[in-house]
């Protein structure tokens, strides 16, 4: 492991990052000066209580929000300095999100949900269709035409994982990926996530309350009251 880390380059650098919401007496300091480095291909779990700032940190890494101060650099991109067009391209190709509540489009089929996030869209050719292949890889080859309401929670999260992977991003960001699943299904989804990240040598950042999820990570970072308190 030590040898691997020596070979890996830092993919994510978070320096003196603060993030606050609101103003005046209602101002909330979600992050109060976070420094963090995550290596390329590393599987990292960020743990902490509700309101500790872990989801805010994940959103900054995914460029769906910008820091109040400090810098967030992912794969060479300074998230706080990017314009809207660059942010769109970054979210589409550099990172892939997996949400606790799956966040699938209810009116679209599993295939269409994945295709909606694909840079090149669907090919329509089953033999060479990467979306179909991806859904097959996550175990949904036979349920591609089903809508989210027709799928179990585990299956929906598999669709969400396929959606996150469809553009082969360098970083997979998963916010409580097993939080809405039963133990067994959660274990299967976690194995799928870590397996894919490992096989593709992609960086996986997991946010979790679950110790078993944290155990699956190569590194665990604990965050409390907007600060990293333990690594």
CB 109 → another protein: shortest distance, Å? 15
CB 57 → another protein: shortest distance, Å? 12
Q: Which is nearer to another protein, 39 or 204 (CB)?
A: 204
CB 112 → another protein: shortest distance, Å? 12
Q: Which is nearer to another protein, 130 or 218 (CB)?
A: 130
Residues in the chain: 231
Residue with tokens 């706080």: 80
Distance CA 182, CA 175 (A): 16
Q: Which is nearer to another protein, 167 or 218 (CB)?
A: 167
Assign 3-class secondary structure to the chain.
CHHHHHHCCEEEEEEEEEEEECCHHHCEEEEEEEEEEEECCCEEEEECCCCCCHHHHHHHHCCCCCCCEEEEEECCEEHHHCCHHHHHHHHHHCEEEECCCCCCCCCCCHHHHHHHHCCCCCCCCHHHCHHHHHHHHCCCCCCCCCCHHHCCHHHHHHHHHHHHHCCCCCEEEEECCCCCCCHHHHHHHHHHHHHHHHHHCCEEEEEECCHHHHHCCCEEEEEECCEEEEC
CB 209 → another protein: shortest distance, Å? 14
Q: Which is nearer to another protein, 61 or 228 (CB)?
A: 61
CB 160 → another protein: shortest distance, Å? 9
CB 11 → another protein: shortest distance, Å? 19
- Between helix 183-200 and helix 153-165 the angle, nearest 10°, is 10
Q: Which is nearer to another protein, 121 or 141 (CB)?
A: 121
Q: Which is nearer to another protein, 39 or 171 (CB)?
A: 171
Q: Which is nearer to another protein, 8 or 29 (CB)?
A: 29
Q: What does the binding site for another protein look like in residue numbers (CB under 8 A)?
A: 55, 59, 62, 64-65, 84-85, 88-89, 91-93, 96-97, 99-101, 103, 105-106, 116-117, 119, 163-164, 167
CB 6 → another protein: shortest distance, Å? 33
Residue 175: both structure tokens together = 């916010």
């Amino acid at each position: 492991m030590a040898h691997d880390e020596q070979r890996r380059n830092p993919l994510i650098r978070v320096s003196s990052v603060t993030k606050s919401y609101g103003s005046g007496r209602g101002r909330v300091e979600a992050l109060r000066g976070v420094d963090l480095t995550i290596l390329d291909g590393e599987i990292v779990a960020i743990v902490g209580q509700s309101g500790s700032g872990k989801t805010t940190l994940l959103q900054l890494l995914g460029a769906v929000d910008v820091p109040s101060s400090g810098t967030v650099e992912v794969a060479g991109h300074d998230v706080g300095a990017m314009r809207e067009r660059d942010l769109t391209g970054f979210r589409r190709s550099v990172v892939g999100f997996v949400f606790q509540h799956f966040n699938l489009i209810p009116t679209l089929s599993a295939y269409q949900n994945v295709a909606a996030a694909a840079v090149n869209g669907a090919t329509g050719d089953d033999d060479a269709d990467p979306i179909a292949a991806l859904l097959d890889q996550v175990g949904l080859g036979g349920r591609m035409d089903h809508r989210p309401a027709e799928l179990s929670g585990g299956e929906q999260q598999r669709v969400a994982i396929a959606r996150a992977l469809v553009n082969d991003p360098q970083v997979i960001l998963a916010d409580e990926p097993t939080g809405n699943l039963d133990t067994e299904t959660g274990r299967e989804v976690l194995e799928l996530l870590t397996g894919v990240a490992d096989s593709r040598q992609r960086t996986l950042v997991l946010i979790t309350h679950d110790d078993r999820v944290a155990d699956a990570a190569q590194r665990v970072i604990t965050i409390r009251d907007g600060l990293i308190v333990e690594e």
